[in-house]
Chain A
């Protein structure tokens, strides 16, 4: 792992869009297992990404600041600061996509990670292709059909091109995933989306996956865009089916 030590990081840590300048997408791997991290680096480099490694939860935030990655792969079990806390730290200052790596997919850890702001998770042992597919889905920008410039949902105005959501002219900060989720609902305000459909459209899962992903992120989205998250008006639950967008009010 000598090639992605401090010198490499500082070399690209220029302000602005360093990754674009180099033409490669930078991925921060936070994992204490050196072998796995190295293997991940090989796989990621093979797929055209530029991996940066951090082995310790305490240093994760500092490394993030230096490297300014486009995506973070985060192991939940870390020495030093716990993965869930690191996730909260990152989310507090950035909307960067975070994918958790976890060995315990059926425990409360996953929900904790998702609630802390992780966009998605991959359960160990995973296949390289599976991981890369998850990474690509999260890095994918807005779907191509940008025919519509702005969308209205409730009292929100969504600018599709500008990736922004405004209420009464005031921008609301959403992570890319939350934006995608809101956009998916807003594009078809007449349709009720089941969790499975949302998993496919927003997370890119072809087969049945963990519906907790949808539940947790809808809660997170509501906490940002709803006036009263207890009585949502924009993302409405349709009992027994899924979710739908609220009526455009203005």
Chain B
């Protein structure tokens, strides 16, 4: 009845210690719970019932015996008294014979079985109706009671243990009183009834009760098990069906037997499954249609775009022959067509992600080479905006990634950094541990509000709509980067503060399909955590000292714990204020240890890495 046959389907359950096993089984198995509850309950019921039954039986049996014994004892004592009264006690010589006769008389009144013993005690000694009985069978308290009331002829009663010389002690009842004999203090007479038979009866009854109880308990438990199994097995079947359904076997159905509640459960499950299947099929169809539509649209757009593009090129090349207006128009046409084209391809890429059609093609890749390729690819852009790009690598790093996608991510981040970096140097930091690699792109440009760390990944989001765009991305670059990273099971986090630049960090698992747990790089830039050179791996002879990096030092090393509200409260943060900066610097030193906390807080605010999605 236990769950032993059921495989453990919960892979998250960690290895337990041995003493946890029964607890686990109890928590996991409904039949076990039902069976053990039934067992415990029936044991309690049987014990209570047995005790009650035994008590009632004992009272009944003993009462009857008690009444009979009472009558017999009374009769015997009265007989003895009347015989004694009838005697003419002149001579003390024959009193013992007389007593012996009386004893014989009254004990003869009963049969040998279920009979009673009589003991007479007097100054003359002890007379017993049978040599078998020991005088210690008379309970001491009864004897004291009777001796202290030698004028009282009432019959007293006390339970006792009947001791026979043959060595068997049985429970019994003793009656005692004083026989009035003139001239003496009277003879104490005790009538002792062994209740061997009654005890035997009760013992048999007890045995019967115990055996019946045990059998009943066993049967009840067994029945409970059967019932639980009957109820649970369809529930388990339903659970398995639900699991199969969840794992994508939409065709699976439960077998329906009979018309009871469980059959209805199966029917409902099947109904749910078919409805789900219908919905999912519909959604799949919809997504297919949607994807098809996007592909078709893109194809239809591309042919005229090609024509327009070639026409624009022709015009552009001939622009020197045009008048200034037409010439400028040709230039604009050419430039904007480039933008249109990249927008179109970005839209297509996003729609591919939305349709779930993006597929990862991971391969072992040298991250250093990849970064160098990307930096090489953006060199002309960096030159034109007079930006220095520095790579800080701890040594060879490789990971199983889709290099085309990660190159695109890095290119997006780097172009973004160049655009917002205000010609200050851009640092690319690499780091790795056993499970993850991280690449961070740090710029020292305008930065953004902490609260915007999530928004920057929104589609078509603009940090500042009034700001002039020099490079003119599509507004989809960071969204695509986010999707590319997610496809890897990685994280893309943003950190930024107004006036202190921004850092974008990509963290990727080293093995495709691994789950990320932490990033080898902090989200908050290291140069803000400690004003030291980035690390020992910083290129020797790098012309940039930490001070260069903080050339806006007055607010560059400011309070790292200035969060959204704080930053928002300082609209003039971009304008260095010496006094405020000094205050902030001490603030920074004081709260140095807290920065790590904010790292985590920032991470969570950034992109919720606990939920890699």
Does A36 interact with chain B (Cβ within 8 Å)?
yes
| Closest residue on chain A to residue B404 by CB atoms | A208
Whether a CB of chain B sits under 8 angstroms from the CB of A33 is yes
Output the residue of B298, B310, B311 with the most chain A CB within 10 A.
Answer: B310
A77 to B307, CA, bound (A): 16
Candidates B303, B311, B313; contact of A124 at CB < 8 Å: B303
In the complex, per-residue mask of A192-230: 1 if CB is within 8 Å of any chain B CB, else 0: 000000000000000000000000000000000000000
Contacts of A125 in B (CB 8 A): 302, 305-306, 309, 341
| A126 close to B314 (CB less than 8 A) | no
Q: Which of A27-66 contact B (CB under 8 A)?
A: 33, 35-36, 39-40, 42-43, 46
> What's the tally of chain A residues with a CB closer than 8 Å to chain B?
17
B298 CB to nearest A CB, Å: 7
Does A77 contact B299, Cβ atoms closer than 8 Å?
Answer: yes
Q: Tell me whether A36 and B303 are in contact (CB under 8 A).
A: yes
Complex CA–CA separation, A127 to B306 (angstroms): 7
* Residue ID in chain B nearest A124 by CB atoms: B302
Query: Chain A contacts of B307 at CB under 8 A?
Result: 33, 35-36, 39
Does B11 touch A at the CB level, under 8 Å? no
Tell whether B304 is near chain A: CB-to-CB under 8 Å.
yes
Q: Is A103 in contact with chain B by the CB < 8 A criterion? A: yes
- Assuming the A-B contacts A103-B298, A104-B295, are A36 and B306 also in contact, with contact meaning beta carbons closer than 8 angstroms in the complex? yes
Indicate if the CB atoms of B303 and A128 lie closer than 8 Å. Answer: no
A43–B299 CB distance below 8 A: no
**Chain B interface, number of residues (Cβ within 8 angstroms):** 15
A126 and B341 alpha carbons, distance in the complex (Å): 10
Bound CA–CA A77/B299 (angstroms): 10
Smallest CB separation, B337 vs chain A (Å): 8
Residue of B299, B306, B310, B311 near A104 (CB, 8 A) is: B299
Kindly report which residue of chain A lies nearest to residue B338, judged by CB atoms.
A127
Q: How far is the CA of A42 from the CA of B314 in the complex (A)?
A: 9
Cross-chain pair count, CB within 8 angstroms: 45
Verify B313–A128 contact, CB threshold 8 A: yes
Nearest CB on A from B320, distance (A):
16
Which chain B positions have C-beta within 8 A of A124? 302-303, 305-306
Point out the residues of chain A lying under 8 angstroms from B314, CB to CB: 42-43, 46, 128
- The listed residue (A42, A103, A128) touching B299 by CB distance below 8 A is A103
Alpha-carbon distance between A33 and B305 when the two chains are bound, in angstroms: 12
Which A residues are in CB contact (< 8 Å) with B313? 127-129
Contact A40 B310 (CB under 8 A): yes
Which single residue of chain B is at the shortest CB-CB distance from A43?
Answer: B310
A237 CB to nearest chain B CB (Å): 17
Taken together as a complex, chains A and B put the C-alpha atoms of A91 and B299 apart, in Å, by 26
Q: Which residues of B contact A126 (CB under 8 A)?
A: 306, 309
CB neighbours (8 Å) of A127 from chain B are 309-310, 313
**Chain A residues in 8 Å Cβ range of B311:** 39
Q: How far is the CB of B28 from chain A (nearest CB, A)?
A: 49
Most interface-central of B298, B309, B341 (chain A CB within 10 A): B309
Q: Given the complex of chains A and B, what is the CA–CA distance between A63 and B306 in angstroms?
A: 24
Q: State A43–B310 Cα separation when bound (angstroms).
A: 8
Contact residues of B between 282 and 324, Cβ < 8 Å to A: 295, 298-299, 302-307, 309-311, 313-314
* Distance between Cα atoms of A43 and B312 in the complex (Å): 11
Provide the bound-state CA to CA distance between A240 and B16, in Å. 45
B295 & A35 in contact (Cβ 8 Å cutoff): no
Query: With the chains together, A58 CA to B326 CA distance in Å?
Result: 42
Specify which of B303, B310, B341 is in contact with A103 (CB 8 Å cutoff): B303
Q: Which residue of A lies closest to B337 (CB)?
A: A125
Contacting A at CB under 8 A, from B326-346, are 341
- State the CA gap A35–B306 with chains docked (Å): 10
Taking the closest CB of chain A, its distance from the CB of B518, in whole angstroms, is 32
A210 to B593, CA, bound (A): 51
Asked whether A39 lies within 8 Å of B303 as measured between CB atoms, the reply is no
Task: Give Cα distance in the complex from A36 to B311, angstroms.
Answer: 10
Cβ contacts under 8 Å, B299 to chain A = 77, 103-104
Tell me, rounded to whole Å, the shortest Cβ–Cβ distance linking A247 to chain B: 31
Contact bitstring A12-40, B, C-beta under 8 A = 1, else 0:
00000000000000000000010110011
Minimum CB–CB distance from B309 to chain A (whole Å) comes to 5
Inter-chain CA distance A232–B113, complex, in Å, is 115
B92 to chain A, nearest CB (A): 134
Q: Which residues of B contact A46 (CB under 8 A)?
A: 314
Residue among A36, A43, A125, A126 with the most chain B CB within 10 A?
A: A125
A128 in contact with B310 given A77-B299, A104-B295, A104-B299 (CB within 8 Å): yes
Instruction: Please name 9 pairs of A and B residues whose Cβ atoms are closer than 8 Å in the assembled complex, sorted by A.
Output: A33-B307, A36-B303, A36-B304, A39-B307, A104-B295, A124-B306, A125-B305, A125-B306, A128-B313
Which 10 A-B residue pairs are closest in the complex by CB-CB distance?
A103-B299, A124-B302, A103-B302, A125-B306, A125-B305, A124-B306, A36-B307, A39-B307, A128-B310, A35-B307
- Beyond the given A125-B305, A128-B309, please list 17 additional residue pairs across the A-B interface where CB-CB is below 8 A: A36-B303, A39-B306, A39-B310, A42-B310, A43-B310, A43-B314, A46-B314, A77-B299, A103-B298, A103-B299, A103-B302, A104-B299, A124-B303, A124-B306, A126-B306, A127-B309, A128-B314
Binding site for A on B (CB under 8 A): 295, 298-299, 302-307, 309-311, 313-314, 341
